[in-house]
């Protein structure tokens, strides 16, 4: 997951056309100077238009994987390190991000799962690319919140999460979100 | 609409045009034979900037509108945008509207749609193959007018 530069969920609005519903973008990386949002309509047309829909587009500095459901599209921007055998992993992640939706978990429910004395460690929220895949899996499996929920809460400032950490043995690790108010 | 013109089976389930579709058709009019390049654009606002590239040297622009009041008002915004583009040095082109879905109850008549859009407007039902000849006639008439003006 270190390869992820950005994730964009693009939906089709019947008045406006393709619009970015939510996004998560790394601050660093080769493609950081690109504003992916400006290309949202183009990417949407590339992946959703016509009769034969590509799975990926490869550019000089980055690659884009696309996963669709109905008229929704999840575009995953990757460093130039994509390997075909990783596709299934990305596909599973994308499926969860698309299907769980923004309202998969209520804010209240999430807050109840937050440990008040969470110790901040180096894993910085907002940097999806640095969250190990196993952690993302854990997020979903433990029904705490999907990565999409974290992105949404972080983006809209409703729950300004600064840091998360993982505890416990692998597969049972829990993610603790430490809000500013709890620090 | 392209399906109708090309004699293909109509698409009964609504699927928005993602960006654009393309079709070609030969039409014979009194002035001769015309090869039409048919560009079908999505009407959503985020697609509008794309129109500029494809409307270069376009002589006739046919705007297909839902005949519901909401649909007509949205289409009015597109036509205003196209007219503004003309005023700003774009290619002069004739704009004609097709008031679609005339088979549905409660929709505006083509005359009322024309009053709002301020351009020649014809009633159509794009999913009805019987309207195919009608649409082709509309095309012929307007092509002849455009060619004569030139």
Question: How confident is residue A86, by pLDDT bands cut at 50, 70 and 90?
Answer: low
Å from B20 to nearest chain A CA? 8
Q: Which H or E run contains B40? A: strand B32-41
The CA distance from B139 to B69, in Å, is: 25
Can you give the CATH number for the domain in which B132 is found? 3.40.50.300
How far is Cα A119 from Cα A126, in angstroms, rounded to an integer? 17
Residues spanned by the domain of B103: 2-9+17-149
pLDDT band at A144 (very low <50, low <70, confident <90, very high): very low
How sure is the predictor about A89, in pLDDT bands with cuts at 50, 70 and 90? low
Number of domain units in chain B: 1
User: What is the rounded CA–CA span in Å between residue A85 and residue B61?
Assistant: 47
Quick check: B63 pLDDT over 90? yes
Q: Give B135→chain A minimum CA distance, Å.
A: 24
Q: What is the pLDDT of residue B102?
A: 92
What mean pLDDT value characterizes chain B? Answer: 87
- Chain B residue numbers touching A44 (CB-CB < 8 A): 18-19
Q: What angle do CA A96, A99, A103 make, to 5 degrees?
A: 105
Q: What is the pLDDT of residue A161?
A: 37
Q: How many CB atoms lie within 10 A of CB B115?
A: 12
pLDDT at B116: 94
Residues pairing with B37 in the sheet: B24
Cβ distance of A15 and B74 shorter than 8 Å? yes
Which whole number is the average pLDDT over B125-131? 86
How high is the pLDDT of residue B121? Answer: 96
- The reported pLDDT for the residue numbered B118 is 94
- Per residue in A7-51, pLDDT (tens digit) is 788 989 988 899 888 877 765 545 455 677 777 888 898 888 877
Give the separation between CA A71 and CA A64, rounded to whole angstroms: 18
Contact present, A9 and A23 (Cβ < 8 Å): yes
d(CA A74, CA A97): 8
Per-residue pLDDT at A61 exceeds 60: yes
- How far B19 CA sits from the closest chain A CA (Å)? 6
Instruction: Provide the whole-model pTM.
Output: 0.63
Q: Which of A14, A15, A45 sits opposite B18 (nearest CB)?
A: A45
The confidence score (pLDDT) of residue A170 equals 31
Structure tokens at A109: 């429910």
Averaged pLDDT of chain A? 58
pLDDT of A178 above 60:
no
In this structure, of A81-95, A160-174, B40-54, the range with the lowest mean pLDDT score is A160-174
Q: What percent of chain B has pLDDT over 90?
A: 32
Lowest mean pLDDT among A117-126, B26-35, B120-129: A117-126
Phi, psi of B146 (to 5 degrees): -65, -45
Instruction: Give B78 to chain A, closest Cα distance, Å.
Output: 12
By CB atoms closer than 10 A (0-12, 13-18, 19+), residue B13 is exposed
* Contact call for residues B57 and B146 (beta carbons, < 8 A): no
Spatial distance between the Cα atoms of A110 and A159, rounded to a whole number of angstroms: 10
pLDDT at A165 (0 to 100): 37
CA–CA dist B138, B55 (Å, integer) = 20
| Cβ proximity of A125 and A161 under 8 Å | yes
Q: What is the CA radius of gyration of chain A?
A: 16
Question: In this complex, how many residue pairs, one in chain A and one in chain B, have their CB atoms less than 8 Å apart?
Answer: 32
- Measure the CA–CA gap between A178 and A150, rounded to whole angstroms: 11
Longest Cα–Cα distance of chain B, Å, equals 40
Would you state the pLDDT for residue B21?
A: 83
Contact status, residue A127 vs residue A135, Cβ threshold 8 Å = no
pLDDT at A109: 35
Euclidean distance between CA atoms A151 and A161, whole angstroms = 9
pLDDT in the model for residue B95: 93
Two structure tokens written together for B78: 């597109």
Per CB-CB distance under 8 Å, the chain A contacts of B20 are 49
**What number is the average pLDDT over the span A145-153?**
49
| Rg value, chain B, Cα | 15
The predicted model gives A94-100 an average pLDDT of 69
* Phi, psi dihedral angles at A167 (to 5 degrees): -130, 160
**Region for B33 from its dihedrals, namely left if φ exceeds 0, alpha if ψ lies in -120 to 50, beta otherwise:** beta
- Inspect the interface and report whether the beta carbons of B46 and A48 lie closer than 8 Å: no
d(CA A161, CA B22): 47
A112, pLDDT greater than 60: no
**How much is the pLDDT for A93?**
66
Q: Which domains does chain A have, with CATH numbers?
A: 4-100 (3.30.450.70), 107-182 (no CATH)
Q: Which residue of B has its CA nearest to A53?
A: B18
């Amino acid at each position: 997951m270190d390869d992820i530069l950005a994730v964009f969920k693009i939906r089709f609005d019947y008045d406006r056309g393709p619009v970015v519903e939510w996004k998560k973008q790394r601050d660093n990386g080769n493609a950081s100077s690109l504003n992916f949002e400006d290309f949202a309509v183009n990417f949407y047309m590339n992946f959703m238009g016509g009769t034969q829909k590509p799975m990926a587009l490869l550019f000089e500095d980055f690659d884009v994987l696309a996963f669709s459901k109905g008229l929704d599209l999840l575009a995953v921007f990757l460093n130039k390190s994509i390997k075909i055998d990783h596709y299934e992993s990305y596909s599973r992640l994308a499926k969860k991000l698309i299907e769980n939706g923004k309202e998969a978990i209520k804010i209240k429910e999430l807050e109840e799962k937050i440990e008040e004395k969470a110790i901040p460690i180096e894993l910085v929220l907002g940097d999806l690319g640095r969250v190990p895949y196993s952690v993302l899996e854990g997020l979903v499996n433990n029904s705490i919140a999907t990565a999409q929920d974290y992105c949404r809460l972080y983006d809209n400032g409703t729950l300004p999460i600064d840091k998360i950490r993982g505890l416990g043995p692998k597969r049972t690790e829990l993610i603790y979100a430490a809000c500013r108010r709890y620090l | 609409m392209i399906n109708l013109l090309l004699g293909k089976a109509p698409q009964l389930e609504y699927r928005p045009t993602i960006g654009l579709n393309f079709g070609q058709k030969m039409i014979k009019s009194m002035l001769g034979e015309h090869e039409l390049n048919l560009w079908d654009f999505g009407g959503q606002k985020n697609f509008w900037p794309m129109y500029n590239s494809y409307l270069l040297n376009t002589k006739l622009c046919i705007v297909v509108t839902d005949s519901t009041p909401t649909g007509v008002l949205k289409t009015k915004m597109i036509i205003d945008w196209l007219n503004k583009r003309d005023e700003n040095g774009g290619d002069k082109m004739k704009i004609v509207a097709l008031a679609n879905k005339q088979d549905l109850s409660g929709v505006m008549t083509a005359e009322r749609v024309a009053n709002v859009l301020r351009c020649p407007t014809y009633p159509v039902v794009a999913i009805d193959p019987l309207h195919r000849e009608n649409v082709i006639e509309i095309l012929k008439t307007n092509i002849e007018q455009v060619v004569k003006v030139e």
